[in-house]
Structure 1
Amino acid sequence: MSFIEEPMAVLTPVTSKFGAKYRSVAPFRFLRANHRTEVDWMYLWDLALRKGCIGYIKYILKSSLMRLPIFGWAFHILEFIPVERKWEADESNMRQMLSTFKDPQDPLWLAIFPEGTDFTEQKCIRSQKYAAEHGLPILKNVLLPKTKGFCACLQELGGSLNAVYDVTIGYKYRCPSFLDNVFGVDPSEVHIHICRFPIDCIPTSEDKISTWLMDRFRFKDQLLYNFQFQGQFPDQAKESDLPIVKSVINFCAYLVPATYFNIRPQPIRGLFKM
């Protein structure tokens, strides 16, 4: 269940196609996506921008990305959550940062990639070997999801969420790399399929959440398998273009106040004390 949008919102002339529940995605949401390539997050930005929520989106991402030139600075300003992908090292910081995002009056789009790394054939082989040794599903188009970070997000934000959005990203013809995007070599089509799950339909215990997440990745695996042959996700419809000028203005309009509020020497309310 998808509908088409063109061109890409974030500085790239790419056709993007979004999933059926896309129209209902609103200001306080938790998005969980597959990680097909290292630039998947750029296309989730496109989704957020089209919904007028570019200023609300935050990612849980590898700490090494926080050191990238220019991008790393922006990631800090936008309060992305860095992880080392070692739960013992990540749990305290992740829970502390998540605890600051709980206010439903302060809109949030939190995106997580439970696979923990982007998909490659070698990583897939290692993931399949681990699955075979531990009696888990053998997946061919996604890696086995890591469950602890996802569980922590639900535990910390559960009272503020009314739904979890399951996002599946597919690239037609070829997958883009970071350098492709830097040099303007973009995929011709990006397809995004979205399913909405009300929060009261999601288990609360960690074991059951892990089982539920594994089942959803089994579904993703089949969805991407079908995508390879059909070239699209089910049921597509078309939306109007998003002008590139509007994209740039919207992003800059957010980044300026975001920068100020994160580097100012004191909370703004303190400026008005007599």
Structure 2
Amino acid sequence: MEVCGPPSSNNGSKHRPLTPFRFIRGLICLVVFLSTAFMFLVYFGPVVSVMLRVFSIHYSRKATSFLFALWLSLWPFLFEKINETKVVFSGETVPAKERVLLIANHRTEVDWMYLWDLALRKGCLGCIKYILKSSLMKLPILGWGFHILEFISVERKWEVDEPIMRKMLSTFTDPRDPLWLAVFPEGTDFTEQKCKKSQKFAAENGFPILKNVLLPKTKGFCACLEALRGSFDAVYDVTIAYKNQCPFFLDNVFGVDPSEVHIHVRRIPVEEIPASESEASAWLMETFQLKDQLLSDFVARGHFPHQGTEGELSTLKGLVNFIVVIALTGIFTFVTFFSSKWFKIYIGLAGAYLASATYFNVQLVPLLSFVKAMLDCKKTKK
């Protein structure tokens, strides 16, 4: 068995065949997700990112977390209830609603989506934020959502990314704001070719040779830890493995893969992680060595240790959430096309704002903070 086989494993076959039923159901799911995302963004996005934010970042984030958690909940419902993917949690049972830095291995393009299954169970779905490559911000509609949810986009060039990251991280220091900041220290998804390149670099530079993960890049992790150490409760070390083949985005949409997702969680109190950058970097390297061994054990045994730390999602709650999202989308669609022309104008303006704010990465500053900054600037000039 493999932690996550390449596309050619199992003769390229999927866990379930792509039948006409699954194909049609997948297209319906995709239309539902995109239409609900669009309506939620254009009707709620300007409210939470402009109208509320000019008065309070804290209350803007609370509203964003609540409203968009409704939409994000559709994905775990798809994975676990519609596609019937078995999600197995193991390791430690972590408390609800902590402020954490979450580090995970990166097996495939949809790892980050399965973190929503854990965040939903801990009441933190709407406050999970990712550090992700900037090209994903250009995705139609979804890129707007990433901006509203304040994901941090990077070019994967530290000299370019460092000032952007530190500026964004400085806005996340309020301990009243719930926060799950998710980082994939490998910087890219795992492939055999990338693994060989990583192993060659490790051998040439005296780093450990890893088989199931790539060498972690430490600078982004250390920057997050330095900026937010005072407000974090813990670091969650999350290890993800799949049986028997890595899923891709469309596999999830059409429900053909994966059969099982295994998620191992280890909680480390933030005070146990070294403060200096060199020691924190060494700690991260050791953590990925443990992660590599954990994945090797998974290959041998077929599971992580200490399974069953989280229960199943409630089907009833999932259905109620789905009905609420569909009902709101239906109302928004009706007033857009069959009501006053002012709703059409609002949609146009909201879309223009979201597109431009995402493209230029604009996050508004509360009015009082802006006035205070202007007064401080004048005092400095005097």
Normalized against structure 1, the TM-score is what?
0.86
Match of 1:239 in 2: 311
Aligned residues: 259
Amino acid at match of 2:319: V
Gaps of 5+ in 2: 1-74, 333-349, 358-362, 369-382
Where 1:195 maps in the other structure, the secondary structure is strand
Shift of 1:61: 0.6
* Alpha-carbon displacement from aligned partner over 1:179-238 (angstroms, at most 9, x marks no partner): 222333331111111111111110111111111100000000000011112111002226
Amino acid at match of 1:208: E
Structure 2 Cα separation of the partners of residues 90 and 163 of structure 1: 24
Which of the residues 152, 155, 159 maps onto 1:88? 159
Match of 2:264 in 1: 193
Contact 1:27-1:56 within 8 A present in 2 as well: no
Where 1:215 maps in the other structure, the secondary structure is helix
Match of 1:4 in 2: none
Where 1:169 maps in the other structure, the secondary structure is strand
Shift of 1:247: 5.5
Report the more deviating stretch, 218-227 or 176-185: 176-185
Instruction: Considering fraction of residues, name the structure with more strand.
Output: 1
Rg larger in 1 or in 2? 2
Which of the residues 25, 30, 33 maps onto 2:101? 30
**1:95-134 aligned within 5 A:** 95-134=166-205
- Hey, which bits of structure 1, 4+ residues long, moved more than 3 A? 246-253, 262-270
Structure 1 residue 76 corresponds to structure 2 residue 147 = yes
Shift of 1:23: 3.5
User: How many percent identity over aligned positions?
Assistant: 62
Which of the residues 110, 113, 119 maps onto 1:48? 119
Shift of 1:112: 0.3
* Alpha-carbon displacement from aligned partner over 1:46-80 (angstroms, at most 9, x marks no partner): 11112221111000011111112332222112110
Report the more deviating stretch, 213-222 or 197-206: 197-206
Match of 1:11 in 2: 78
CA 1:159/1:222 → structure 2, altered by over 3 Å: closer, same or farther?
A: same
Shift of 1:251: 7.8
Structure 1 Cα separation of the partners of residues 184 and 148 of structure 2: 20
Where 1:11 maps in the other structure, the secondary structure is helix
Structure 2 Cα separation of the partners of residues 48 and 251 of structure 1: 19
Match of 1:139 in 2: 210
Match of 2:298 in 1: 227
Match of 1:161 in 2: 232
Structure 1 residue 171 corresponds to structure 2 residue 242 = yes
CA 1:246/1:61 → structure 2, altered by over 3 Å: closer, same or farther?
A: farther
Where 1:24 maps in the other structure, the secondary structure is coil
CA 1:211/1:25 → structure 2, altered by over 3 Å: closer, same or farther?
A: farther
Structure 1 Cα separation of the partners of residues 326 and 162 of structure 2: 32
Amino acid at match of 2:76: A
Contact 1:9-1:242 within 8 A present in 2 as well: no
Shift of 1:266: 7.6
Amino acid at match of 1:11: L
Amino acid at match of 1:138: I
CA 1:50/1:89 → structure 2, altered by over 3 Å: closer, same or farther?
A: same
Instruction: Considering fraction of residues, name the structure with more helix.
Output: 2
Normalized against structure 2, the TM-score is what?
0.63
